[in-house]
Structure 1
Amino acid sequence: MRWAAIVLAGGRGARLGGVDKPALVVAGKTLLDRAVEASDGADPVVVVGPARPCSRPVRWTREAAPGAGPVAAVAAGLAALDADVDVVVLLAADLPAVTTAAVAEVRAAVGESGAVLVDAEGRDQWLLSAWRADVLRSAFAAPGRGLYSTLGPLNPVRVTDRACASSDVDTPEDLDRWR
């Protein structure tokens, strides 16, 4: 079964003063490199955002209107995938604890539609999820206004995040926890 990863790396980093979050370094690696490396085995890894240095070869793409948000970014990533991809992993590029094991866990849990990691507070983490490619393409043919309204109705399998892989960096305090 061929799988691909779409890494969303084009956010504004507004709560961090406009910092390029994917370029932030935690424990010697950029957040972008952590997401790309967690996608080991994906064919291809598509990064949606401005091209920047990366530890591995990736396929770069941008939304029609850069900065339009995650729904537009996922749609752009889907457009950059080959037609024969069976499963698509969605990842944010601001996850300092994401690992290949976390990605493999959501991939292995894909049911009829997909699987999503659920954080300790019970929130679905849409940007650490895996989906049947045909289901995801159908959902994004007429997407909702946000990821929840687009992906929530697909009734994914919910996977408990036991390793804090879905913890993201949105604020200076978040970043301090990882440095």
Structure 2
Amino acid sequence: MIETGLTTFSAIVLAGGRASRLGGADKASIELDGRTLLARSLDAVIDAAEVVVVGTQVPTERPVTFVVEDPAFGGPVAGLLTGRDQLLRRTPVLAVLAVDMPFLTATTFRRLTAAAVGHDGAILTDPDGRRQLALVVETARLDAVRPGREEQHGAALHRLLEPFDLAEVDARGDEHRDVDTWTDLRDLA
């Protein structure tokens, strides 16, 4: 259970998907209003003590660790746990976000961290109540439910999170929007 909203956290940015609906484009390098989706993600977790990006290494202004899950394209659970394994610091909380959510901000993660107090974590929800890939979780709790390596590849994130007591935090504005297609990108601009 997370005990304080001011807890130090590490962050894992999930940027290693196939982006098949974008013709295989590297989502991290896609630009929106002159900034890459990765730069926007890193801004959202500016308060993190350490950041691991799970995906192909691309230029960035911030010091981060890049790693690719093995086998590649294992999905969000494999990416999350690969990122977790690369963290050098032990922090009580992990922030997790998809690189394709350009409207997440540091304020989003401060709200998630504050809402997580008394819970195992907190997750962002869209206006229809669907959970999004922007969350904070207690590190020890994640470690306790971690599946074996064989079960990680292709595993559904919602299944991994089933035993967690997660506070749901309503998205503000466009925080929940993501870029899955070129039309999504056009509509966000």
TM over 0.5: yes
- The answer to whether residue 15 in structure 2 is matched with residue 9 in structure 1 is yes
Inter-partner Cα distance in structure 2 for 1:152 and 1:167 = 23
* Shift >3 Å, 4+ stretches: 141-144
Q: Compute the TM-score of the two structures, normalised by the length of structure 2.
A: 0.89
Inter-partner Cα distance in structure 2 for 1:55 and 1:36 = 9
1:42 to partner: Cα distance: 0.5
* Contact preservation (8 Å) 1:4, 1:45: yes
* Contact preservation (8 Å) 1:5, 1:89: yes
Unpaired segments ≥5 residues, structure 1: none
Tell me which residue corresponds to 1:51: 57
Pick one of 112, 131, 134 that aligns with 1:124: 131
Identity of aligned residues (%): 37
Higher RCO (CA < 8 A, seq sep 6+): 2
Inter-partner Cα distance in structure 2 for 1:113 and 1:155 = 5
* Contact preservation (8 Å) 1:45, 1:59: yes
* Contact preservation (8 Å) 1:2, 1:84: no
Per-residue CA distance 1:83-119 (angstroms, 9 max, x = gap): 6211100010011111111111111111321100010
Root mean square deviation, CA, Å: 1.5
The 5 A counterparts of 1:107-146 are: 107-110=113-116, 111-125=118-132, 127-142=133-148, 145-146=155-156
SS of structure 2 residue aligned to 1:15: helix
Inter-partner Cα distance in structure 1 for 2:102 and 2:178 = 7
SS of structure 1 residue aligned to 2:53: strand
Unpaired segments ≥5 residues, structure 2: 1-6
Inter-partner Cα distance in structure 2 for 1:119 and 1:152 = 18
Tell me which residue corresponds to 2:3: none
